Amino acid sequence: MSLVNVLGLRQLFRTSNFRQASTIAFISLLIALVSIIFSNHLLELIMRSHVRDMILNDVRSQQLHGRLQRTQDVVSALKYREPFENRKERHAIVTDSQGLTLYGDAQLLPGLACQGICTSNWRHATLSGTDGNETEILGLLVPLADGGRYFSAYDLRPMLERTRIIPLMAGAGLLLILLLILLLSLPFSRRNLARINQIRDALARYASGDHSARAPCDRDGDEFDQLGGEINQSLQRLDRLMEEVKTVTSHIAHELRTPLTRLQGRLVSVCERLEGDSRTELLRAIQDSERIQSLFRAVMRIGEVETGRCAHHFELIRAQELLEDVREYYLPLAEDRACPMRVECADDYTLYGDRALLFQALANLLDNALKYSPTGSPIVLAAGSRGECQTLSIRDRGKGIPLELNAKAMERFSRLDTSGNVPGNGLGLTLTRAICDLHGGRLVLADNQPGLCATLELKPAPDRLEKRLP
């Protein structure tokens, strides 16, 4: 596991608050990079313009003092100024009418020669010195009255290097500011993430049956408090609707169950006084009324389990005893179909759940296994562990269920066998899944090659109960 996962930063980095801060920082960084490049180019232009102005001022100063008439006057002025000159990047070259260098570095002249027809006295060239370092010379060539030439120039490279550090320093400072913004956004993202997790936990507890769970909304009235308030109002409205459904369902149960029971009693009473075909038809009507009552009870039971209104008490259960009880309950039916049943479970293996509900879930699975298994095929009732889950499973050698139909098989009133030869109402797996959901687990249907392996995956017992096991 990486350090990011250990510290819980992966989820933190996915928060909208941190993503917005990162997006703003990234856009700001792009703008800063463009600004640095543009400012660097702008500073170069300003520096070149400034150098041109200095060169022109130097030439005007020489002209103002009348030194551009004679070559020797220019040389004398430059030598007089030389002790006071502290700019190493400044260059001055003076040649006579014969082209001989009277002052300055003669090695610079070949590189400053004009190629072709010269249209300007300005010279700009990059030259390599004897020490291997390059110099970028920008200067003005001034013809003198006596045929000599005066070249006033500056080396731009040192100046540009000094100015380039300005945008780099500004960019580094901006980068530090952006990093600081990201670091400051982490506590706010963590705070918002904690509040979102509180809302998620409240909804998860409500979905698991704790209908008293509510989202926190008692802070400063920000958007999270408003969201929590809306969620709480929805949960309260849902509670009222569920209570109304419960009341209506109770009334329906009372109003329908009693007439159906009376109707069945009257049919039985009349059937006892009849003979022949009339008695046969009446017996079929009695069977139909029994199926209606069974279907009604199953639907009511599913609703009770799904809403958590059924009586349930979670405790430690010995898995072998539970499986043996289910096996003994269906043993007569299994013997009629010559299907041997065996239990695979360790003697001391325990589960955590409601015994009656788990018995009902296993009974539904075993009932389906006996219905759809061929005569004489074995059926296995097993308990064990799978990862962090505890499991109860029923394995048969019947037709099984295709993988793509697993979800449909657990829907209400869904029957994959459309022949009508197998009795049932299509609610067994639905009720079993509801019981698994109430236990915080799930129902898994898998291929037994051949047949079906139906498994109840349940949560393990809390640590405080595990310590009490003998």
Greatest mean pLDDT among 21-25, 50-54, 268-272, 342-346 lies in 342-346
Q: What pLDDT was estimated at residue 3?
A: 41
- Is the pLDDT higher at 362 or at 96? 362
The position carrying tokens 């060539």 is 141
Q: Which residues contact 178 (CB under 8 A, 6 or more apart)?
A: 25, 28, 29, 32
Domain end point (choices 187, 206, 225): 206
pLDDT over threshold 90, residue 382: yes
415 with 278, same domain? no
Position 1 scores a pLDDT of 43
Strands 101-103 and 90-95: antiparallel
Span 31-76, pLDDT tens digits: 878 877 887 788 888 888 888 888 888 888 877 777 777 888 888 8
Residues 192 and 259 in one domain: no
pLDDT value of residue 393: 92
One domain for residues 5 and 131: yes
| Residue 212 within a domain | no
Q: Are residues 111 and 184 in the same domain?
A: yes
Return the number of other C-beta atoms located less than 10 Å from residue 416's C-beta. 13
Classify residue 151: in a domain, yes or no.
Answer: yes
Report pLDDT digits (tens) over 192-244.
778 888 888 888 888 866 778 888 877 677 777 888 888 889 988 988 887 77
Q: Where does a domain end: 289, 307, 325? A: 307
Asked if pLDDT for residue 323 goes beyond 90, the answer is: yes
Same-domain check for residues 297 and 320: no
Q: Are residues 195 and 111 in the same domain?
A: yes
Q: How far is CA 451 from the centre of its chain?
A: 38
295: containing domain: 240-307
CA pair distance 99, 71, nearest whole angstrom: 12
Q: Are residues 187 and 271 in the same domain?
A: no
Residue ending a domain, choose from 307, 328, 354: 307
**131 and 246 both lie in a single domain:** no
Q: Residues 320, 397: one domain?
A: yes
Give the side-chain half-sphere CA count within 13 A for 377: 17
Q: Would the CA dihedral through 329, 332, 335, 339 be positive or negative?
A: negative
The mean pLDDT value for 82-94 works out to 75
96 and 151 share one domain? yes
Task: State residue 396's pLDDT score.
Answer: 92
Same domain, residue pair 340 and 440: yes
Q: Does pTM surpass 0.95?
A: no
Number of domains observed in the structure of the chain: 3
Q: 164 and 255 share a domain?
A: no
Q: What is the pLDDT of residue 321?
A: 92
pLDDT score at 130: 57
Tell me how crowded residue 206 is: count the other CB atoms within 10 A of its CB: 18
Domain-embedded: residue 418: yes
